[in-house]
Every structure is written in C-alpha cells, then in structure tokens.
Chain A
Amino acid sequence: MGIIAIMMVISFAVAMGVAFIIKQATVMVERLTLASSKPDEIRRVKKIHKLSKHSRKVKGEEYARRYGIELIDHYYGDNKLDSGESQRELLNHFYPKSR
C-alpha cells in the first residue's frame, strides 16, 4: 500500500506539472503568435486605406440596410471619441483575421 501511495503522489505531481507546463506554454505560444501576427494586422490596415471612398460608402449602406442601424453607431456607440479602438473594430468587422 505504501508503494501505491508513493506512486499516487508521483502521478499527482507529474500530472499537475504537465498542467503547469500546458498553462505556461500556452501563454508563451499565444504571445509569440501575437508578436508574429503584427505584420498581418498592418497589412490589413493598409488594405482598408486603399479602399475607395465609394466602396466604403457602399459597404456602410449595405450594413445599415441589413441590420437596421448605422455601422458607425453600432460599433462606436457611446465611444465615438475613442477613434483608435473604433477603427480597429471596423477593420475586424470587414477583414476578419483568418485563422
């Protein structure tokens, strides 16, 4: 029974160690993924800036027609002043990150 108790303790320690490694490694890999995906974000921003005024207007109207609310009101809401965040939200809407 003593041997089994020791093996239970070892198993518990190893399993929890594996859980700790999973947690830490996930955080690390997520950070690395975020860092390496930055150029992609920049590319997407550049792409939207290339859009003509006309096509932006068409997209805006299409959104309003479909959802019954202006895109700018929907996304900006009370935070209209927070232009940086709003811009990001709009970009994410029209150009969702590919997985």
Chain B
Amino acid sequence: MDGLSFSALFPGLGTFFTSPLVISFARVILIALGLTVIYLGRKNILEPLVMIPMGLGMIAINTGMLYMPDGSVGNLFLDPMLSDTDELMNMMQIDFLQPIYTLTFSNGLIACFIFMGIGALLDIGYLLQRPYTSMFLALCGELGTFLTVPIAKAMGLTLNESASIAMVGGADGPMVLFTSLSLAKNLFVPITVVAYLYLGLTYGGYPYLVKLLIPKRLRAIKIQKEKKKVKSYSAATKMALAVVMCLVLCLLFPVAAPLFFSLFLGIVIRESGLKHFHDFITTTLLYGSTFLLGTLLGVLCDAKLLTDPIVFKLLVLGILALLISGIGGIIGGYILYFVKKGNYNPVIGIAAVSCVPTTAKVAQKIVTKENPQSVILSEAIGANISGVITTAIIAGIYITLIPHLK
C-alpha cells in the first residue's frame, strides 16, 4: 500500500488539486458549461441533437482525468494533437474514441456524411423557381464570412486562421470543419467547437436580431402571388440540375469537391427515388454522424482548450461573423423589398444565412407570429439552399486562393 494517496486512489478528484489552478478552474467552468448545454438542449433552446452528447462529452472529459504512466495528466478518450503514425497506432488501441476521431473527424469524412444527409433532405425545387433572387440573398447572408477576415487579421490571427474563423459567418458546421482542416489545422478543434456552439444559438438569437432590425409592419407582409405561375419541377429535372451543378462546381473548385460531391450526391439520391439509399442517408448516416460529431466535439473541450488565449478571440470573432451575416441577410431582404416595390417580406433575408433548415424555420415562425396568413417558407427555403451553395463556393475560393496570398 506504499505510495497510495487520495490523489492516486481518486485521480479524477486528485488532479483538481495537483493541476495548475488555471487548469482546475477551467475544468470546473467546462463542467458547468456541459451541464448548461445539456439543459438548454433539452429545453430546445440549443440544437439538442448536437448539444446533448456534446454537453455530456464536456463533463466526462473534464471529470475523467487521470495520471498517465509518464506522470502527466491525461484521459482515455482521445488525443487530438497526435501526428506521429506509430504513436497514433498505439493510441488507437488505448483511447476508445481515437479511431473515430482519426478516421472520420480529422479528415473531414464526418462533415461529408452530414452534407450528404443535408443534401438528401433538400428540395432544390425552391431554388430552381427563383435562382437569381435566392442566390442574391444568400450572397448578402455571407457578409460576415467576408468582413470577419480583416477584423480577425487586425486581432493578430494569420490570414489562414482568419478565413477559417470567418467561415462561421456561413453558419454551416461541416463547412467550417472542412475549411479549418484545410487552412488552419492547428486551430481546427477550437474553431469547430466555437462554430457548433454558436450555430446552436441561431435558433434562439436570430429572432431578436430580426425584431430589432425589421419593424412589425414589414414583418407581417404577405407576399402577393406573382402574375407568372410558379412552376413545380419534376424529380428528373431536379436530378439533372444537381448533376450539372456538381459537375460545374467540382470543376471550378476541386479542393472543395468532396463537399460538393457529398451535397449533390444526397440531392441525386433523393430525386432518383432510391428509397433504401434515401432512408439510409437521412436516418442512419445523418443521425449517426451528428451523434458522433456532438460526442467528439464534447470530448475535445478539455481545459487546455479554454486556457489557450486564442480561444477568447475565436469566441468574439465567431459571434461577430454570425451577427454580421444575419445583418447582411436582412439588408438583402430590404433590397428585394424595395426592388419588388413592397411585395416582399424582408424577414426572408435571415433565411439566407445557411443554417439549414433552422433559419428558414425561424423566418416562417417570426412571420406567422405577426401575420398567420403570410407564408414565406418556399422563398425562405430557396434562400436557405442557396446559402449552402454560396458557403461552399466561398469555402472553395478561400481554400484555393488564400494559401497563395501569404
């Protein structure tokens, strides 16, 4: 029984007292944050699908610390910083989440799976009905993706890091993961964690922004039917269009081709009528990937992450990017309101921020509250889908051009 102390017997508790004070304090904060995230997820204030496993992951990683054979403090979940192949192979046999992290998360596979699921849920018919309006709105909803880059640069980040955190403005989790993996591998863990934390906030935060910037009278506008009848497109047309768009975008941006391919594969499966594939992608694959993503994001939130001074900058820049994008989308909505001489509801602009389908639902919910007769969902979903495409285009442009601009 020699050398058996309280710390050795209960390392989870013991490490609180033997670690530096800052780390112990950060662990307590992250455990509290994990509890809060689970509570808010359960209350549907944050996205429960990601936030509940993420919250529990945060709690487990910050309580389940122990002393490693070399005397350092570690865990048996995963080590995101491993790069040596031999070490990685050894760790895969010890840390239970290491194989999933290495083989699905750090290579962007999980982002592609989620994109396939999103594609399989999208009806691009809404985009085909109004391609120019939807694309214009979506570009306005990317304002934060552009304007955050110089702000981040001014705050001391490199151009690659600035572009990666600015992608949060596109409100598309898989795209942020993919871009940061390509441009700022050193920061991709905190950037992705920050992105998903904030994306969960869009559902609760954007309604306040809309109410602040759009008066009640305009929020209640019911769009009068256009003289020209809105066409509905056959599944064959939508499928053919998805094939053409995949071809063009992969040709233009080969670096973002895995994401484009995944998105359009989902759309093609949906429209091709392959029921078993569609069911597999929209249920098992999408929910399985979302669950693993949430769990991994949670266990990546260890105390070292919070004590890194750059995380504070990322937190500020992330919320700024989403805020500017939301304002940009609303400005786009106002422009179309004036162009269409009042026959347009500017609330649709918020749906241009491509958090599919959350922002479209937010827009309809706000409008219904003011005027139950007003239905804007088809316009909102069109802008929402275009938002996914424009975010992928911008990711492609950033990943292609920024490495050449150093």
Report which of A1, A7, A21, A99 forms a contact with B244, defined as CB distance below 8 A: A21
**Cβ–Cβ < 8 Å partners of A99 in chain B:** 234-235
A1-B150, A14-B252, A99-B235 known, 5 other contacts, Cβ within 8 Å = A15-B390, A18-B393, A23-B132, A29-B236, A33-B236
Cα-based distance from A25 to B247 in the complex (angstroms): 12
Q: List 14 A-B contacts (CB under 8 A).
A: A3-B405, A4-B149, A4-B150, A7-B394, A10-B397, A10-B401, A11-B139, A11-B390, A11-B397, A14-B393, A18-B393, A22-B131, A29-B240, A33-B237
From A3, A10, A18, A26, give the contact of B233 (CB < 8 A). Answer: A26
- Nearest 10 pairs of A and B residues by beta carbon: A19-B131, A19-B135, A22-B131, A29-B240, A25-B244, A29-B237, A15-B135, A19-B132, A15-B390, A14-B393
Q: Chain A residues in contact with chain B, CB under 8 A?
A: 1, 3-4, 7-8, 10-12, 14-16, 18-23, 25-26, 29-30, 33, 99
- The complex places the Cα of A10 from the Cα of B398 at a distance, in Å, of 11
Q: Is the CB of A7 within 8 A of B138?
A: no
A29 to B271, CA, bound (A): 14
Which residues B383-397 have CB closer than 8 A to chain A?
386, 389-390, 393-394, 397
Chain A residues whose C-beta falls within 8 Å of the C-beta of B240 in the assembled complex = 25, 29
Q: Are B249 and A18 in contact (CB under 8 A)?
A: yes
Q: Which of B231-286 contact A (CB under 8 A)?
A: 233-237, 240-241, 244-245, 248-249, 252
With contact pairs A4-B147, A11-B142, A99-B235 given, residues A23 and B131 touching in the complex (Cβ less than 8 Å)? yes
Nearest chain A CB to B255's CB is how many angstroms away?
A: 14
Contacts of A18 in B (CB 8 A): 135, 245, 248-249, 389, 393
> Is B128's CB under 8 angstroms from A26's CB?
yes
Q: Establish whether residues B397 and A22, one from each chain, have CB atoms under 8 Å apart when the complex forms.
A: no
Cα A20 to Cα B244 with chains together (Å): 12
A8 to B245, CA, bound (A): 21
Interface members, chain B 129-149 (any A CB < 8 Å): 131-132, 134-136, 138-139, 142, 146-147, 149
